[in-house]
Amino acid sequence: MADPADKPPRGGDNRPALALHVPEPKSRPGDPVDFSDLDIGEAGSQPRPDEGAHPSEMTGLAYDLIRVLGDDDRAHGPWDPKLDPETLRTMLRHMAMTRAFDERMFRGQRQGKTSFYMKCTGEEATSIATSMALASDDMVFPSYRQQGILIARGYPLIEMINQIYSNKGDKLKGRQLPIMYSSREHSFFSISGNLATQTPQAVGWAMASAIKGDSRIAATWVGEGSTAEGDFHSACTFATVYNAPVILNVINNQWAISSFSGFAGAERTTFAARALGYGLAGLRVDGNDPLACYASQLWAANRARANKGPTLIEYFTYRAEGHSTSDDPSGYRSAQEREDWPLGDPVKRLRDHLIAIGEWDEDRQAAMDKECAEQVKEVTKEAEKNGILGHGLHQPFRTMFEDVFEELPWHLKEQAEQATRERIKKFGEKGPNR
């Protein structure tokens, strides 16, 4: 019997050998950083199409980069939303508060008060500026780095901290991982740790809103790495087919945990260009330009409200910190990337813009930063009175059987009663968290 190893290569010997391409970032720890290949264009040079334009009329905006703030810290071009100074100062304060909140919660995690936290440093504009362009009752379906939306919508900081600590004040009763907030009152859908699940949920919610003849639209946020998930592509298909009033925000922060954006397809094309194959309107936006973020989200919101279709927006930004408190970015990227990122820092850019137009100054900025830090510190102390993660069972024991079914099934009632009897037997009638 012939040995299979002796057989000639499939297809004969004359065909060239195939080679597999594996994406590789341009720099690793210790390497010099070079962003010279990025074409960020001139601020104000991108056209602003009519909000009802057909997607085929705006294909260039899926490859360009919509920018408003120039190197002179002034607003330029047709995408300038012409916001009044008070609105800009409010936006800046939300950013400062979010940054102060992140710093305090990061410190709390390092002190063992919670198990996990995720900063949004460098990405504040993609959540705060964009959410300010929406109506307060538009439904948002966030990922896990959009804490700025809750802060911009006035959600109490103490409720956020209670949730992070999973203490007795946690309205979610310790059932969600830290930072996975939920607030029906603030039209903020529950965060899921499963990637991209929120995209079809947002599209489905938007379809339901349209079916009912409501006026509320939906917006969702997802990282660029999550666009490789099947849920994202299902969402794009349904959004296009049913003309759902929804905005699909893709936050391209260059890194998905330790994998750079090339593994999700960034080497081949932009993430905004994915809209073209589905017949979606696609915009690519400077995610560190708060005015561009606001303007693009408002454009997409107006388009959705006018029943002209959904929009996919790629916000080109940079994750300045680690993916989470469990991540050390120095292990996979150059330490110089943050400083050399050509689009700068969104908080600094908005601050400098307000200073340039005579509506702000360094002293007021310093005072605001201090005030935000002190406010977060005081609220944190108040929340810690409700307990911190790992220091006992904070929620009453019986609550583990609640809030899933409208009426508890008989078999769970039996389990609950048995569990209660055993707990009383072990700890007595006045046992902890009965």
Q: Tens digits of per-residue pLDDT, 24-59? A: 999 999 999 999 999 999 999 999 999 999 999 999
Please indicate, yes or no, whether the overall pTM of this predicted structure exceeds 0.85: yes
**Residue 382 and residue 380: Cα distance in Å, rounded?**
5
**Region 419-432 average pLDDT:** 81
- CB-CB contact of 151 with 128 (8 Å): yes
Query: Percentage of residues in the chain with pLDDT exceeding 70?
Result: 96
Q: Tens of pLDDT along 243-274? A: 999 999 999 999 998 899 999 999 999 999 99
Strands 259-260 and 281-286, by their bridges, are unpaired
Match domain 55-384 to its CATH number in 3.40.50.970, 3.90.1150.10, 3.30.1360.10, 3.30.9.40: 3.40.50.970
Starting at the edge strand that comes first in sequence, how are the strands of the sheet with 139-141 ordered? 139-141, 218-223, 246-252, 311-316, 281-286
Does the pLDDT value for residue 90 go beyond 90? yes
Does the pLDDT value for residue 11 go beyond 80? no
Q: Tens of pLDDT along 326-367? A: 999 999 999 999 999 999 999 999 999 999 999 999 999 999
Helix (H) or strand (E) holding 350: helix 346-356
DSSP string, 378-395: HHHHHHHTT--TTSS--S
pLDDT band at 431 (very low <50, low <70, confident <90, very high): low
Which amino acid is located at 307 in the chain?
N
**Residue 405 and residue 403: Cα distance in Å, rounded?**
6
pLDDT band at 298 (very low <50, low <70, confident <90, very high): very high
**How much is the pLDDT for 166?**
94
pLDDT band at 4 (very low <50, low <70, confident <90, very high): low
Q: Which residues contact 295 (CB under 8 A, 6 or more apart)?
A: 66, 68, 79, 80, 81, 133
**Region 401-416 average pLDDT:** 91
Q: Where are the domains of the chain?
A: 55-384, 397-427
Token pair of 181 as six digits:
């907030």
**How much is the pLDDT for 242?**
98
Strand partners, 69: 75
**How much is the pLDDT for 349?**
98
Handedness of CA 88, 93, 96, 98 (dihedral sign): negative
Does the pLDDT value for residue 67 go beyond 60? yes
**Residue 224 and residue 284: Cα distance in Å, rounded?**
12
**How much is the pLDDT for 3?**
61
- Helix H, strand E, coil C: the string for 37-57 is CCCCCCCCCCCCCCCCCCHHH
- CB-CB contact of 375 with 101 (8 Å): no
**How much is the pLDDT for 374?**
98
- CB-CB contact of 128 with 95 (8 Å): yes
**How much is the pLDDT for 13?**
75
pLDDT band at 204 (very low <50, low <70, confident <90, very high): very high
Which amino acid is located at 87 in the chain?
T
First to last CA, the chain: 75
Q: Tens of pLDDT along 304-319? A: 999 999 999 999 999 9
Does the pLDDT value for residue 235 go beyond 70? yes
Token pair 């439904």 is found at 139
Mean pLDDT of the chain: 94
**How much is the pLDDT for 433?**
58
- CB-CB contact of 97 with 319 (8 Å): no
**How much is the pLDDT for 86?**
98
- CB-CB contact of 293 with 315 (8 Å): yes
Distances (CA, A) of 293 to 89, 107, 251, 336, 374: 16, 29, 11, 25, 29
Please give the angle made by the CA atoms of 214, 215 and 216, to the nearest 5 degrees.
100
